[in-house]
Amino acid sequence: MTKKAGENWPRVVLIASFVPTCWLLMIVVHECGHVAAGLLTGGSVERVVLHPLAISRTDFSVNPRPLFTCWAGPLVGAIFPVAVTIVWRIGRFRGWHLVQFFAGFCLIANGAYIGVGSFDHVGDAGDLQQHGSPIWNLWLFGLVTVPSGLWLWHGLGRHFGLSGKPVSSRAAVGSVLVLVVVVILEVTFSNRI
């Protein structure tokens, strides 16, 4: 192994572990939005599926405001990570680029899920339309969130080693540890929520 190849491992490990971590955490935040809205409106949560190998969902035995509850998933899934990023940046905490990447990821994932899903009535997009949300609302959500997520990502490549700047081995190892913890928690509690 050349010295150059040996120096690349933190970049590869960070990217390879942080993207799936973002996916799993994005799903948690999204489902928390559904759960919170359901409980706030007098609903009763029957089951939350968060297993890494399953399609996430929140099932309610009672859901008095299904349109509100359905919109809360993508809205909280998009807004909460952005709010955390703002606080992180104002506080000048370390690792802000990871938090900002996650927020961008959440905006893009939720926006694409709702906007593109509207064409095939997939998942929440189908439920939103079924409960009376006009399709243009779904498109507008996607048109606002996806570009906003890309804007948050703009310029972050250097922090992930994509422009020659070295990546901290500490960040790479930390990212792997977070991924492992999230997977263990989701597998452990997937049938207990």
Q: What is the pLDDT of residues 110-148, one digit of tens each?
A: 999 999 999 999 899 999 999 999 999 999 999 999 999
Average pLDDT over residues 172-188: 92
CB 121 within 8 A of CB 129: yes
Nearest Cα residue to 105 out of 85, 125, 130: 85
Where does the pLDDT of residue 107 fall: very low under 50, low under 70, confident under 90, or very high at 90 and above?
very high
Any idea where the domains of the chain sit in the sequence? Answer: 3-189
Work out the number of other CB atoms within 10 angstroms of the CB of residue 1: 7
| pTM for the predicted model, two decimal places | 0.89
For 62, phi then psi, to 5°, come to -135, 130
Choice between 3 and 16, residue whose per-residue pLDDT is larger: 16
> DSSP labels for 79-102?
HHHHHHHHHHHHTT-TTHHHHHHH
For the chain, what is the mean pLDDT? 90
Average pLDDT over residues 84-88: 96
Nearest Cα residue to 180 out of 18, 59, 63, 50: 18
Where does the pLDDT of residue 3 fall: very low under 50, low under 70, confident under 90, or very high at 90 and above?
very low
CB 182 within 8 A of CB 26: no
